[in-house]
Amino acid sequence: MERLRLHTGAGMPAIGFGTWQLEGGAETVRAALEAGYRMIDTSGDYGTQPAVGRAIRESDIPRAQVFLVTKVEEDEDGLEATRDRLDDLGLDYADLVLIHRPPRHGAGSDIWEGLIQAKRQGLTRDIGVSNYTTDQIEEITEATGERPVVNQVEWSPFGYTREMLEFCRSNGIVIQAYSPLTRGRRLDDHTLQGIGVRHGKSSAQVLLRWNIQLGTSPLPKASDREHILENFTVFDFELSHEEMDVLNGLNERYSALAGLAYA
């Protein structure tokens, strides 16, 4: 499995498993681990933390080989909320804790300070943000001297920004792509399907491969066992430069949710 290097030195799997609205509880998370996923994304407000924690604890895979991502909310104390997430998960530490979204006012430097403390106390290996603009990332970095390792944002060929890509590349921040399958809404796009047919792959696999070749890390969610396997089978083909250009050109700042929060 390919890994991405975080600016703190840790390795992070190139693809992760999303668990928002996941069905089937720990059984489904177990199926993802068995399929080969080594990064699991959850959050206190998904209701899936207990199932994720249980699947990780009961797995034969050593804890150190699983990269667990969870989140704290913008109105919480970063340190206390991290402790609370670990209790809910039943785990000793997280690999990455994110501020789920910026507060309504300001960038949340106080919450960020709490996450820095959580990292110092060994409750999490790394810390990052989600749904942040470039300005908000700069604000918390300048306020504390600590740069996020990741910005988790809605990201697909239909909806992304060059500005965020270039900002993150030049600051050593990895983009984690949420709703990378457009929540299923654009899988019937003809361009996507055409590229898939050429490689004997599905639209979903093309979307995930686009992320991997861009150096961004997709977090597909799937409750269906076939989808779980299909989405992990994306390391045995390569999109050409031309195909990447075509996919890049599909951008219309599309969002399957409430708009691209960072754009």
The reply to whether 46 belongs to the active site is yes
Name the minimum Å distance from CB 186 to ligand NAP: 9
Tell me the two tokens of residue 104.
């309504």
Name the minimum Å distance from CB 91 to ligand NAP: 17
Contacts for 178 with CB less than 8 Å, ≥ 6 apart: 18, 41, 130, 152, 153, 154, 155, 219
Closer residue to ligand NAP in complex, CB, 48/79: 48
How far is 260 from 173, CA to CA, in rounded Å? 18
User: DSSP assignment, residue 256?
Assistant: S
Span from 77-85, 135-143, 227-235, 240-248 in contact with ligand NAP (CB under 6 A): 227-235
What number of chain residues touch ligand NAP (CB under 6 A)? 27
Span from 109-117, 218-226, 234-242, 245-253 in contact with ligand NAP (CB under 6 A): 218-226
Asked if 115 and 78 count as a contact pair (C-beta separation under 8 A), the reply is yes
How far is 179 from 198, CA to CA, in rounded Å? 24
Closer residue to ligand NAP in complex, CB, 202/216: 202
Q: Is 223 in the site for ligand NAP (CB under 6 A)?
A: yes
Q: Is 178 in the site for ligand NAP (CB under 6 A)?
A: yes
Q: Is 224 in the site for ligand NAP (CB under 6 A)?
A: yes
Looking at residues 145 to 174 of the shown chain, list those that interact with ligand NAP (rule: CB under 6 A): 152
Q: Is 179 in the site for ligand NAP (CB under 6 A)?
A: yes
Distance of CA 52 to CAs 66, 89, 93, 213, 225, Å? 11, 7, 13, 28, 16
Name the minimum Å distance from CB 130 to ligand NAP: 4
Q: Which residues bind ligand NAP (CB under 6 A)?
A: 18-20, 41, 100, 130-131, 152, 178-184, 187, 202, 204, 219-224, 227, 230-231
